[in-house]
Structure 1
Amino acid sequence: MLVRLTCYSPSVIKSDGIIEGVEKSVAKLGYSPQLDGLRALAFFLVFSNHLKPLPEVGPIISPFWGFLQSLMGWGWMGVQIFFVLSGFLITSLLLQERADKSRIDLPAFFIKRALRIWPLYYLMILINFLILPLVLSHGSLGFGGPVWSAMCQTYLLPFLGFVGNFWMPTHDGVKLPLSLVILWSVCVEEQFYVFWGFTLARFKTFRALGLLLVGILTAAVLIRAGLYYLSRDNGAFYFHTLAQMDTLAVGAVIALLRHWGQLPAAAISRHGVLFFGLPVAYYAFLASAVPNVGTNHPSQILVFTGNAVFSGCLLLSLLYWRPASRWFSLPFFVLIGRHTYAMYLTHLFAFILAESWLGGRFHLLGDVGHWLLHTVLAALLTALFAFLSWHAMEKWFQRLRQSFIR
């Protein structure tokens, strides 16, 4: 059953948005299965971005094949969808807690976030810095080898402290396993939790929070521009938290407007097809006409803002347009969405294992058949890793988290 989300416009809101007597009048978010579906979409995009390049095909379908390859190349936008959704959910939960309890319990909030994020995150660090090097005991990649030593000296402490993303653009000469690179976005999320938790505890008016978010949106664009023109390298800002803050801020803006009853829910619902269709059209436009992030093109300075805005449009369509809400609430998407964290962190391992196991086998299938087999095997391994992660570790920490939810 879908969660009915209704926004109110309480008359008790004062012109300066003072919190007293206001937050009690707004709707609570509740569980929204379509948001799990949105997580699934974000993961599918990231997964497609890491697939092997499509093989050559005949001239009849070659144009479509090329466009599909370009769409896959833009799959990294799934990370921006994750950020927008995170900004929305974290802001909604903290504002709702303050409305219910007249305060935000920051220690409980940080503990809940740690119990959700830290176990699998630190397991991935253990695997990348210790277990894999022991398995690859020979050569430079093995335990004690020069590549392993340089990686530990450069990245171990930063990633342990959730700041490894700041080291990546300035130490790109030090080799990192792909399964460790993926942790950069978790670092950004963790930094956001700390900053935004203290910020919402300090800023208590609609106007103050709104002005702060506008400032963040503007600053992120300027920071990206500055980082790009100083280095002429998109990687300088791709991993940088401050250059990603407008994506998180868009989700927070939606949560803020919704919480204070300032979202035109009826209008969004009437024009839901537009809110849903614009992100799809934007994604297709990027794939067909805009240089991708790897080309070091200045257009990326504003592309990130576009990613944030249109991801926000997609989120709004899922919240208020019933057809999209129904589609993304299908059981398959909800199931995938509930396990995207483990799937996100482990899917690159799955690609590596699939490639290792297949090798030169099944060559009779042809290039396309081999590509499809590799993709299916990687998807199945990813699902297996998520299943094992949940039953061996995550569900126990989930139960522990429940003791902090009152």
Structure 2
Amino acid sequence: MQAPAVQFPKKLYGLDHLRAFAICYVLIYHYRLFGHPDWVPVIGGFGWTGVDLFFVLSGFLISSHLFAELSKTGTISLKTYFIKRSFRILPAYLFIVAVYFLVPAYHEREALSPLWRFLTFTKNFGMDTRVEGTFSHSWSLCVEEQFYLVLPLVLLALAYYKAGKKGLLLLAAIFLGGFAIRWCGWQIIAPYTNTDAFSALFRTYIYYPTYNRLDPLLVGIAVSAFYHYRPAWFAKIGKAVNWLLPLGLLVLIGAYYLNSNETNIKATLFGFPAVAVGYGIMVMAAVHPASILYKYQWAVTEKIAALSYSLYLSHKGLMPLTQRLLALYGFDPNSNITMLICFIVVIAAAVLLHIVVEKPFLRMRDRVLKRKAQSTSDTQQLTAEAV
């Protein structure tokens, strides 16, 4: 693989703006599951797609770092890669898992899945929210962890067999294969379209499994490949890059109507890809130097983006717990003031989780990587002296 001509700046502010939007949209979407003002479902009904935006961002960022390493060294250090991922993901996640198992009052819905499902990141397969709905939003973390595990192995295989150019064909094949897999899932749930069980079955067989939710991750990888390996093409869109934002919005509006009825096979087959393409267009705009999203830093979105992982992990248990406590003092769970207090509590808890758990482990990660780099440097020096 040739070294990419386009180099990452230290900070992509455009992605912070999108990440902040994604977490806010998800919070509003999940708040409608509990007591809420009447306007929340109107604004937040499409908020489930915030997770898809996170997937596009993950696909773009993780593949970009791996592409850069492959271009520079011809290989990927799996040890370094998994050290980075483990220290970034596991500490806060395991802390929240512990809270769910040790504090029953934190449960937002029905019983928890077995602990091994959380520890192996396999909760998203066969999950029935009617009986194990607590911490159900961990399904997306399962998808991402499985993606983090497989992607570097696939890229290493492509590099080993010098088949990098065929990677795009593989990407397209997996993307198109998703339509066939979702069609098979639809055959299982179609007989139940007019029953009360349909919504839960749709989530079990269509919404949660990784093989049905690869579209946004693949789109993120495609945008990253375009960014890195076709810099001349990427540069050519500069004059029209700000038109990508309304274009992406138009695609998402179409996706909104396409997904408005989950009992429709068209939503099952085309709904997720439409959302992925819409957000992928926005990410493409956000990483282009000519884009307004790229140029302007905003401290608010930067802070929200930094807290997004802690917010995502902790919010769904805190919202109903806060509402129950406020109800003891006469607060209406459906009021705007209750919602405001709930969001303040969620943000405060996320800040605490970020400071107490996330940041110390990130500093520990940096120390481990520094020692590893120093050890590698010393070994190379001794080898050179021996030669």
So what's the TM-score if we normalise by structure 1?
0.79
Instruction: Describe the SS at the equivalent of 1:234.
Output: helix
Q: Give runs of aligned pairs for residues 15-164 of structure 1, distance below 5 A.
A: 19=1, 22-23=2-3, 25-28=5-8, 30-52=10-32, 55=37, 69-132=41-104, 151=112, 154-164=113-123
Distance 2:123 2:155 in 1: 25
- Contact in 1 for aligned 2:29/2:47 (Cα 8 Å): yes
Distance 2:136 2:149 in 1: 22
- Contact in 2 for aligned 1:234/1:297 (Cα 8 Å): no
Assess, with a 3 A threshold, how the Cα gap between structure 1 residues 318 and 401 changes in structure 2: closer, same or farther.
Answer: same
Displacement after TM superposition at 1:244 (Å): 0.8
Instruction: Describe the SS at the equivalent of 2:214.
Output: helix
| Runs of 4+ in structure 1 over 6 Å off | none
Q: Are 1:377 and 2:344 counterparts?
A: no
- Contact in 1 for aligned 2:158/2:167 (Cα 8 Å): yes
**Residue-by-residue CA offset, 1:42-88 (whole Å, 9 max, x unaligned):** 101111111237645xxxxxxxx5xx734411100000000000000
- Contact in 2 for aligned 1:87/1:251 (Cα 8 Å): yes
Q: Are 1:240 and 2:197 counterparts?
A: no
- Contact in 2 for aligned 1:350/1:379 (Cα 8 Å): no
Q: Are 1:298 and 2:265 counterparts?
A: yes
Residue number in structure 2 paired with 1:167? 126
Instruction: Describe the SS at the equivalent of 1:117.
Output: helix
Which letter does structure 1 place at the counterpart of 2:299?
P
Residue number in structure 2 paired with 1:60? none
Residue number in structure 2 paired with 1:197? 152
Which letter does structure 2 place at the counterpart of 1:402?
D
Give the fraction of aligned pairs with identical amino acids, expressed as a percent.
26
Q: Are 1:207 and 2:165 counterparts?
A: yes
Assess, with a 3 A threshold, how the Cα gap between structure 1 residues 297 and 185 changes in structure 2: closer, same or farther.
Answer: same
Distance 2:138 2:210 in 1: 13
**Deviating more after overlay: 353-362 vs 199-208:** 353-362
So what's the TM-score if we normalise by structure 2?
0.83
Instruction: Describe the SS at the equivalent of 1:69.
Output: helix
**Residue-by-residue CA offset, 1:328-372 (whole Å, 9 max, x unaligned):** x31100110011000011111231133112227556xx89xx531
Residue number in structure 2 paired with 1:6? none
- Contact in 2 for aligned 1:257/1:263 (Cα 8 Å): no
Displacement after TM superposition at 1:172 (Å): 4.1
Which letter does structure 2 place at the counterpart of 1:280?
L
Distance 2:202 2:236 in 1: 37
Distance 2:58 2:245 in 1: 19
Distance 1:283 1:310 in 2: 5
- Contact in 2 for aligned 1:45/1:72 (Cα 8 Å): yes
Residue number in structure 2 paired with 1:176? 133
Distance 1:200 1:161 in 2: 23
Which letter does structure 2 place at the counterpart of 1:220?
G
Which letter does structure 2 place at the counterpart of 1:196?
L
Instruction: Describe the SS at the equivalent of 1:299.
Output: helix
Residue number in structure 2 paired with 1:274? 243
Which letter does structure 1 place at the counterpart of 2:274?
G
Q: Are 1:348 and 2:303 counterparts?
A: no
Instruction: Describe the SS at the equivalent of 1:50.
Output: helix
Distance 1:360 1:197 in 2: 51
- Contact in 2 for aligned 1:71/1:284 (Cα 8 Å): no
Give the aligned CA root-mean-square deviation in angstroms. Answer: 2.5
